[in-house]
Amino acid sequence: MAEVVAAQADADRLNAAGAAEARSQAVKADAEVLKAALDSSKTTRGLAARMDDLVTRLKRRRFKSSSSLVKETLDLLQLLVNAKNWSGAREMLQAVRAFGRRLVRARPVELVVGNVFRHVIHMVKEEYFIMLQSTQDKALSEAAVTGEVVNELDPKGDILPNRDLGIRIEDMAEIPDWNVRSAAANVIADTVAELENIMEPISSQAPDHIHAHETILVYGDSGSVLGFLKAARRQREFRVIVAEAAPEFGGQRMARKLSTADPAHPGDLAISTMVIPDSNIFAIMPRVTKVIVGARAVMANGGLIAEAGMHMVALAARQHAVPLMCVTGLYKLCPLYPYDRDSFIDLKSPGPTLPYAKLGEFSDRIQVLTPSCDYVPPGLVDVLITNNGAHQPSYVYRLLYEQYDTNAEEDLLL
């Protein structure tokens, strides 16, 4: 038995060493790809510095919100795409993927960063297939006239190979007379426009989900939930109970925003709001008609990566048969499955929870873990309210199919 355990341990060490070596080689390869793209023009020197700055701030968690991080990432991605005249889609997407991998390595738990690159790569691939089909149709038309069957783009002779967009970047053929830089720039511009207007389709659904004289529970501070509730207040009268979400007390900030009307916006009305400590959530849940929360990410199985303490709220809601709704944009939809939940949970400083000075003589014998987020299983979520409508968690697979292609996970492997 001991020999079997020792052999398994040796195999695990070899696998870990092989994975580390593969990771090191991937980092070097991506660095060379980015260097080749950025060294092609003097105008890209500032871009390289901005990339380094974003990587540093990602590692140090110095960004305001997920939406601001996505916007800055898209701005840099637009500059990268316009950095040179690419020889084809393969060369450009390799540089885009290398940049995405660099940001993902800087902070793997910030899932929206990887989502942005996966979506852009998917949309460029769609444009690629449209151009590929057009080119092949033209070749077949000419062959019909000359009596010869010619297909230079696909040696296997398929009219439209791999229509599910599952083609790897390295296998993409070059298409003559196609301005891939312009196509990618348009894709990024459309993504930026969608992100800037993302609250409009979400807020328009608010009157359908919130009714008069309801009591709604909110946990922590969420911009999406704030906009959703403010939109509903224009047509409905209701009350909001906000859990304070200690120790950051984001709930107190949320309560101030909800209970204050913005004079600059005539439609922004104050909402009747009450703040409660987190310990009172279970006791007050029987009085609540709905729980509305935000999320940092929506996983492929419909589960949520949300603010720390959200799992407790979801369990209390399920115990009292109170529906839980999540308000989120599709850019937070992630094609990864939470097989190892701990790998998606970020840890933060335990200082606000347990100050170091209070540990005294036990400081060298106590390990304090303070997660910054929770995983909420899909079985505890009733509805996902997105900019593409309201869906049950079981429908996430279809949304993933529309957002990313079948190689979405492979494209950003570390």
- What are the structural domain ranges in the chain? 1-148+165-195, 210-412
**CA 398, chain centre distance (Å):** 16
| Per-residue confidence (pLDDT) for residue 235, from 0 to 100 | 93
| Amino acid identity for residue 117 in this structure | F
Q: Which CATH superfamily is domain 1-148+165-195 in?
A: translation initiation factor eif-2b, domain 1 (1.20.120.420)
| Amino acid identity for residue 278 in this structure | D
Task: State the SS3 of 356-407.
Answer: HHHCHHHCCCCCCCEECEEEECHHHCCEEEEECEEECHHHHHHHHHHHCCCC
Backbone angles phi, psi at 67, to 5 degrees: -65, -40
CATH of domain 210-412: 3.40.50.10470
- pLDDT string in tens for the chain (414-residue length): 666 556 666 555 666 566 566 667 777 778 787 887 777 555 667 888 899 999 999 999 888 888 899 999 999 999 999 988 888 888 999 999 999 999 999 999 999 999 999 999 999 998 888 888 877 665 555 555 555 544 444 444 443 344 445 677 877 877 877 888 999 999 999 999 999 999 999 999 999 999 999 999 999 999 999 999 999 999 999 999 999 998 889 999 999 999 999 888 878 899 999 999 999 999 999 999 999 999 999 999 999 999 999 999 999 999 999 999 999 999 999 999 998 888 899 888 888 888 888 887 777 888 888 899 999 999 999 999 999 999 999 999 999 988 887 665 555 654
Q: What is the spatial distance between Cα 332 and Cα 328, in angstroms, rounded to a whole number?
A: 7
Strands 347-348 and 370-371: antiparallel
What DSSP state is assigned to residue 204? T
pTM: 0.85
Q: Which of 112, 101, 26, 67 is nearest to 336 (CA)?
A: 112
